[in-house]
């Protein structure tokens, strides 16, 4: 069985910018465990455990979806959190740029997966990169430092200048270990559709 998801990769320049942002966050929130920048990706669909036959079907499906989508450009946006303001559960950085093309690709992928029997995610797709999952509530001082970071223009200035070209769709394996998750690309399907593919 293989724990699987479908995602878009980042450019190396984007990872460098995020590495700097993560260092800044870690200085303000030393007790929070942040994601390794090498593991950052934009998840379009999490599929869970599957056998080899189902995995082969998903790889073929991803290739078909990719053939109907043209490459597009994304950019990092500002920081945000999921959860209550007093008890954030996730710290994330948003995704901007050609979001219309991104949303069209995600919708097409979700429809193709649903046709293959995968349940559609009930929550609306919210493009973001997860920087940290908080396992326990922050104390008042840490919450204030996080609030300052979220409100600071500096938290997005480097990100807004970082854009990257999305050129493929990846089926990924997720392996859980004591040191954290490890991700491996099982297939890379180039986006080869025409310029009208995202409309």
**CATH code (residue 53):** 3.90.1140.10
- pLDDT score, position 155: 52
With H, G, I as helix, E, B as strand and everything else as coil, classify residue 18. helix
- pLDDT score, position 194: 63
| pTM for the whole structure | 0.88
Task: Pinpoint the alpha helices (H) of 11-153.
Answer: 12-28, 52-67, 99-115, 140-151
Give me the torsion for CA of 130, 119, 96, 5, rounded to 10°: 50
- Decide if 43 contacts 102 (C-beta within 8 A): no
Helix (H) or strand (E) holding 79: strand 72-84
Domain limits at 147? 2-190
- pLDDT score, position 159: 46
Q: Name which of 77, 39, 60, 32 is nearest 171 in CA terms.
A: 60
Does 154 fall in a domain?
yes
Written as six digits, the tokens of 97 are: 């740029």
The tally of domains found in the chain comes to 1
- pLDDT score, position 2: 83
> Which positions ≥6 away from 98 have C-beta within 8 Å?
72, 73, 74, 198
Does 141 fall in a domain?
yes
Does 120 fall in a domain?
yes
- pLDDT score, position 153: 61
How far is it, in rounded angstroms, from Cα 20 to Cα 120?
35
Residue 91, phi then psi, degrees to nearest 5 = -105, 130
Does 35 fall in a domain?
yes
- pLDDT score, position 54: 93
Active-site residue, selected from the candidate residues 5, 97, 109, 128? 128
Does 198 fall in a domain?
no
Give the angle subtended at the CA of 126 by the CAs of 120 and 131, to the nearest 5°: 115
Does 199 fall in a domain?
no
Cα R_g (the chain), whole angstroms:
17
**68 an active-site residue?**
no
Residue 13, phi then psi, degrees to nearest 5 = -65, -35
- For residue 73, the cross-strand partners are 165
Averages of pLDDT over runs of 10 residues in the chain (199 residues) are 92 90 93 91 94 94 96 93 90 94 97 92 91 92 92 56 89 82 92 61
Active-site residue, selected from the candidate residues 14, 22, 35, 41? 41
**41 an active-site residue?**
yes
Does 29 fall in a domain?
yes
Does 195 fall in a domain?
no
Give me the torsion for CA of 171, 174, 175, 180, rounded to 10°: 140
User: Would you give the DSSP letter of residue 37?
Assistant: G
């Amino acid at each position: 069985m293989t724990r699987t998801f479908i995602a878009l990769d980042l450019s190396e320049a984007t990872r460098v910018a995020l590495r700097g942002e993560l260092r800044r966050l870690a200085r303000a929130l030393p007790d929070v465990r942040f994601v390794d920048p090498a593991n950052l990706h934009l998840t379009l669909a999490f599929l869970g455990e599957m056998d080899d036959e189902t995995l082969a079907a998903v790889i073929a499906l991803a290739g078909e979806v990719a053939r109907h989508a043209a490459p597009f450009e994304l950019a990092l946006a500002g920081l945000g959190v999921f959860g209550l303001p007093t008890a954030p559960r996730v710290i994330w950085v948003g995704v901007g740029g050609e979001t219309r093309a991104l949303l069209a690709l995600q919708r097409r992928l979700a429809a193709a997966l649903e046709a293959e029997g995968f349940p559609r995610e009930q929550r609306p797709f919210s493009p973001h990169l997860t920087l940290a999952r908080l396992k326990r509530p922050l104390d008042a001082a840490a919450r204030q430092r996080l609030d300052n970071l979220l409100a600071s223009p500096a938290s997005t200035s480097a990100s807004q200048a970082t854009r990257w070209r999305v050129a493929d769709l990846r089926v990924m394996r997720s392996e859980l270990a004591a040191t954290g998750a490890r991700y491996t690309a099982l297939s890379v399907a180039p986006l080869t559709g025409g310029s009208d593919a995202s409309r």
